[in-house]
Chains A and B, each alone.
Chain A
């Protein structure tokens, strides 16, 4: 027998190699790429601008693509629609509006690569260069400012509490002491409630808020806590079963995360943000996404220096 060992391994190896080679485009960008779809419409046509050489904007323009990190599972703010693989939501719309400042508003989705950045990885995604911007219900705080820079804020949320419709025992963050509360590992929501309600039972945590809400509905926990806009999405999903306590106990300014020290980029993003706030596209983006709950478009917060 010549060398029959080859005969056995070859089919497996061949299958494996073929498998890894084919479909390369859809796996190498695993949970990343989206297909073209309805982008945000602007009230005025935006044309491509030119940028000073060496700036991040110029590099992005040259690359033809901007990589934006966002959530894929946050109702109203960043959700992946399974029927068309598009990312929808307020954060995604803001991302599109900002990108239009580089690429113009012609077929903007072909210039954007949305990459899923769950809470835990938002900082590393920026520092490792996986994304150019992070727009993912990203609260600005000092600890994070050590590692990344923030443009904006573009929205101010507040941490609130979600309870079952018929539960009146929880009226604010203090009444969380001694109750079972669910949140997500690695989020500021978790650390906030640890500080403000030290006796709260936080043994049950998951990697997604939707699981926390499921646990709430099952009676496994008594409250879910995170930013009110995130909870709003769940109130929208389960209208008669849960309610917001309605007493936000923190302020959560959402910012646009970008690489630390890139002042030119940050300035440009802030300017772009101001433009879309002034020309009505901001309000329009809100109405198309989070606004479906009936919440009116908020006044944009003052942009930090």
Chain B
């Protein structure tokens, strides 16, 4: 296990990369998710079709395929991005599909009665959405979104196959270098636990609070 302590700086570099990878991807996923969810409930047919196709295609393709396809597909479109950026996009697109479903589901949990009451007092469409539906919908989505964030942290590890130097990527190189894969990997697991375990507790707390509120 001394291997781990001798290379703490490498683990730290990987840790920082994982955190920023997760953060950027999640922001992208939120943006994509909200847009796609809005398209899905929109009365405009092409937008609905686009959103449904997007979700069905993205959700049913493995993340590994997303990563490799983007890494080698984008340059053929004339877009050359580094592995980190490519990973952010892949993770963002992938997670975005799940966010879209979560947001849509959240909107649906708001009772019809709320909307009818809003209409009864004369609120137009956008105000109904902004003042009545979304605040309640958001409360319903926080816990599942937390869950998606946790999944994203764990999924980010896959990015190492396209040469991203996150925790997993550094651990892979380190284990080849030192020929001691087992302690190195255990160290990597610990590095991930620092993020995932507190996150799991937070999600649990959120979920409980929400159940009581309901």
Once the chains are docked, how many angstroms separate the CA of A205 from the CA of B83? Answer: 11
Which B residues touch A195, using CB under 8 A? none
Which B residues touch A185, using CB under 8 A? 172-173, 176
B176 touches A186 (CB 8 A): yes
Once the chains are docked, how many angstroms separate the CA of A203 from the CA of B80? Answer: 16
Once the chains are docked, how many angstroms separate the CA of A218 from the CA of B165? Answer: 20
B55 to chain A, nearest CB (A): 27
B105 to chain A, nearest CB (A): 26
| A51 at the binding interface (Cβ < 8 Å) | no
| B163 at the binding interface (Cβ < 8 Å) | yes
A218 touching B75 in the complex, CB below 8 Å, given contacts A120-B176, A185-B172, A186-B176: yes
B199 to chain A, nearest CB (A): 29
Which A residues touch B163, using CB under 8 A? 203-206
B164 to chain A, nearest CB (A): 10
Report how many A-B pairs have Cβ atoms within 8 Å.
23
Which A residues touch B173, using CB under 8 A? 185, 205
Which A residues touch B165, using CB under 8 A? 203
Which A residues touch B172, using CB under 8 A? 185
B-facing residues in A148-186 (Cβ within 8 Å): 185-186
Interface size on A, residues (CB 8 A): 12
Which B residues touch A219, using CB under 8 A? 75, 80
In this complex, what residue of B is CB-closest to A123? B179
Once the chains are docked, how many angstroms separate the CA of A206 from the CA of B160? Answer: 9
| A145 at the binding interface (Cβ < 8 Å) | no
Q: Among A186, A205, A206, A220, which residue has its beta carbon within 8 angstroms of that of B75?
A: A220
Once the chains are docked, how many angstroms separate the CA of A124 from the CA of B169? Answer: 22
Q: What would 17 A/B residue contacts be, using CB atoms closer than 8 Å?
A: A120-B176, A185-B172, A185-B173, A203-B163, A203-B165, A204-B83, A204-B163, A205-B163, A206-B163, A207-B161, A214-B72, A218-B75, A218-B76, A218-B80, A219-B80, A220-B75, A220-B80
Given A214-B72, A220-B82, list of 16 further CB < 8 A pairs?
A120-B176, A185-B172, A185-B173, A185-B176, A203-B163, A204-B83, A205-B163, A205-B173, A206-B163, A207-B161, A218-B72, A218-B76, A218-B80, A219-B75, A219-B80, A220-B75
**B interface residue numbers (CB < 8 A to A):** 72, 75-76, 80, 82-83, 161, 163, 165, 172-173, 176
